[in-house]
Structure 1
Amino acid sequence: MKRLVEAIKQAGVGAVDATRPVIVQYGTVTKTNPLEVNVDQRLTLPEDFLIVPEELTEYKVTVSTTSGPQEIVIRKALAVGEGVALLRVQGGTQYFILGRVGT
C-alpha cells in the first residue's frame, strides 16, 4: 500500500511539472573554469548541467596595428560574480543560460 501511495504522489508531481515545461531562475557565476552557477544556497550547477549560448563565450581577434599585433576582445565570457537568467528545462537536468542580469 505504501508503494502505491508513493507512486500516486510521483504521478501528481509529474502532472504539475508537465504544466510548467520551462521555469525561469536566476543565479550567480561562482566559478569560470569549469563554469559553475549558484542558483540558491542549496543548488550549484556544474558545467555539465549548463547550456551556454555562443554570445556568452569569449571571442578574441588579433589585428595588426602600427605598433604590432594587438588582441581585441569582441565578446566577454561570463565572469565570477555576474548574475545570469536561466531557463530550467523540464526535468531539471539542464539549464539554458539566457543571458547576463544587471545588478
Structure 2
Amino acid sequence: MYKQLQKIALGTLDASKPSESIVGQVTGVNPLEITVDQKLVLDADLLLVTERVKRYVVSLTHSHIYKDVTPTETATKTTQTALPDVLVIREGLKMGDAVVLQQMKGGQQFVVVDKLVKP
C-alpha cells in the first residue's frame, strides 16, 4: 500500500511539472535566444527576463548654477558640464553568457533569473 501511495504521489508531482532550475547559454541577443543542452532552443516568446539581467546605465551628467558676487556686481553663472559619459552598472546579456533559468510550473515559460560568472 505504501509503495502504491508513493507511486501515485510521484506521478502527480511529475504530471504537474513543478518549477525547476536549469542552466542555459545565450545564443542570440536581439531577439533573445537561449539554448539548453544543445537540443532545446528557447526563443523570446518563451522567456521572461528579470531586471537583474537587463542592461542598466546611469547618466551622471550635471552642471550647477551659482551666484558670483563681487564688490561691483552679482552674476548668475553655470559651471561646465561634468561627467558627460554614462556609468554602466550592468552590461546585460551577451552572446555566450551562461544563465540560470527557472522553468515555470507547466514548463511553457522560463524566467531568466541571473547570469553565471566564473569565481
The two structures share one fold, judged by TM-score above 0.5 = yes
CA distance in 2, matches of 1:59, 1:28: 21
Q: What residue is the counterpart of 2:99 in the other structure?
A: 84
Residue 39 of structure 1, aligned match among 36, 39, 62? 36
Q: What residue is the counterpart of 1:4 in the other structure?
A: none
Say which structure, 1 or 2, has more relative contact order (CA 8 Å, 6+ apart). 2
Equivalences, count: 89
CA distance in 2, matches of 1:24, 1:85: 7
CA distance in 2, matches of 1:45, 1:91: 15
- Alignment root-mean-square deviation, CA: 2.0
Percent identical: 36
Q: Counting helix residues as a fraction of each chain, which structure ranks higher?
A: 1
Structure 1: runs of 5+ lacking an equivalent: 1-13
CA distance in 2, matches of 1:61, 1:73: 6
Q: Please report how far the alpha carbon of residue 17 of structure 1 lies from its aligned counterpart in structure 2 after TM superposition.
A: 3.0
Q: Counting strand residues as a fraction of each chain, which structure ranks higher?
A: 1
Structure 2: runs of 5+ lacking an equivalent: 1-10, 63-80
User: Which one has a bigger Cα radius of gyration?
Assistant: 2
Aligned structure 1 segments of 4 or more residues deviating by more than 6 angstroms = none
